[in-house]
Amino acid sequence: MSLRQGIRTIAAVALLVVAMLGTAQAQEVQRIIAVVNDEAVSNRDVIERVRLVVLTSGLNDSPELRQRIAPQVLRTLIDEHLRLQEAERKNVSVTDREIGFAISNIEQRNSMPADSFVKLLESRNIDSYTLETQIRAEIAWNKLVNQRLWSLVTITDEDIDDELRRLRDNRGKPEFRLSEIFLTVDGAGQDKEVRKNAGALVKHIRAGADFANLADQFSVAVSASDGGSIGWVTADQLDAEVAAAVTNLQPGEISDSIATRGGYLIVRLDERRQLEAPNSDDTEVDLRQILLATPGNATPDDVAANLSLASVIRETVADCDDMVRIAAETDPTMSGNLGMIKLKDMSPNIRTVVEALPIATASEPVTTDSGVHLFMVCDRVESDAGLPRRTDVRQLLIEARLDQVARHYLRDLRRTAFIDIRT
pLDDT tens figures, 100-145:
999 999 899 888 999 899 999 999 989 899 999 999 999 999 999 8
**C-alpha to C-alpha distance for 19 and 24, rounded to whole angstroms:** 9
Closest CA to 69 of 262, 202, 225: 202
Which residues on adjacent β-strands are paired with residue 19? Answer: none
**Cα–Cα distance measured from residue 137 to residue 197, given in angstroms and rounded to the nearest whole number:** 22
CA pair distance 212, 57, nearest whole angstrom: 8
Cα gap 79→41, rounded to integer Å: 11
How far is 289 from 338, CA to CA, in rounded Å?
7
What's the CA gap between 181 and 226, in Å, rounded?
A: 11
Bridge partner residues of 375 (DSSP): 289
Q: Residue count of the chain, please give it.
A: 423
Closest by Cα among 46, 131, 140, 149 to 85: 140
Q: How far is CA 202 from the centre of its chain?
A: 18
Query: How confident is the model at residue 28, as a pLDDT?
Result: 67
pLDDT tens column, 26-67:
566 679 999 999 999 999 999 999 999 999 888 888 888 888
* pLDDT for the residue 279: 66
Least confident of 147-151, 162-166, 180-184: 147-151
Q: What residues are paired with 268 via a beta bridge?
A: 179, 254
When mean pLDDT is compared across 156-170, 237-251, 383-397, 398-412, the lowest value belongs to: 383-397
For residue 269, what is the enclosing H or E element?
strand 263-274
Query: Mean per-residue pLDDT for 245-266?
Result: 93
Burial class (CB in 10 A: 0-12, 13-18, 19+), 385: exposed
Neighbours of 1 (CB within 10 A): 7
Give the residue-averaged pLDDT of 353-366: 93
Q: Which residues fall within 8 angstroms of residue 422, CB to CB, at 6 or more apart?
A: 32, 33, 34, 35
Of 14 and 84, more confident: 84
Is residue 361 over pLDDT 90?
A: yes
Grade residue 211 by pLDDT with cuts at 50, 70 and 90.
very high
- Cα dist from 414 to 29, 83, 138, 179, whole Å: 26, 10, 17, 25
Q: Do residues 310 and 292 touch, judged by C-beta distance below 8 A?
A: yes
Phi, psi of 287 (to 5 degrees): -110, 140
For residue 359, the SS3 value is strand
pLDDT (average), residues 222-231: 87
Measured in degrees and rounded to the nearest 5, phi and psi for residue 155 equal -115, 120
Average pLDDT, the chain: 87
Q: Which residues pair with 352 in a beta bridge?
A: none
Q: Rounded to whole angstroms, how far apart are CA atoms 220 and 149? A: 16
353 pLDDT above the threshold of 60: yes
Contact 410, 220 (CB under 8 A): yes
**What are the DSSP E strand ranges found in 314-356?**
337-342
CA distance 191 to 186: 8
SS3 366: strand
The pLDDT value given to residue 251: 95
Q: In a 3-state reduction of DSSP, which class is residue 32?
A: strand
Q: What pLDDT is recorded for position 14?
A: 43
CA 254 – CA 178 distance, rounded (Å): 10
Q: Give the mean model confidence (pLDDT) for residues 176-185.
A: 93
Predicted local distance difference test score (pLDDT) of residue 164:
87
Give the pLDDT band of residue 3 (cuts 50, 70, 90).
very low
Taking the model in full, what pTM does it have? 0.65
Q: 10 Å Cβ neighbour count for 391?
A: 9
> In whole angstroms, what is the distance from residue 116 CA to residue 244 CA?
43
Alpha-carbon dihedral angle through residues 247, 180, 190, 418, given to the nearest 10 degrees? 160
φ/ψ region of 134 (left if φ > 0, alpha if ψ in -120 to 50, else beta) reads alpha
The pLDDT value recorded for residue 4 is: 46
DSSP string, 356-403: TPPBT-PPPPEEETTEEEEEEEEEEE---TTSPPHHHHHHHHHHHHHH
Q: Report yes or no: 288 and 375 within 8 Å, Cβ to Cβ.
A: yes
Instruction: List, in order, residues 6 or more apart from 39 with CB less than 8 Å away.
Output: 81, 85
Task: In whole angstroms, give the CA distance from residue 227 to residue 402.
Answer: 17
- Percent of the chain residues topping a pLDDT of 90: 52
Digit-coded pLDDT (tens) for 277-319: 666 777 889 999 999 988 878 888 999 999 999 999 999 999 9
Confidence of residue 17 (pLDDT cuts 50, 70, 90): very low
Inform me whether the pLDDT recorded for 198 exceeds 80: yes
What integer is the mean pLDDT of 322-340?
A: 86
pLDDT, position 329: 87
- Alpha carbon distance 333, 318 (integer Å): 22
Tell me whether strands 284-293 and 337-342 are parallel, antiparallel or unpaired. Answer: antiparallel
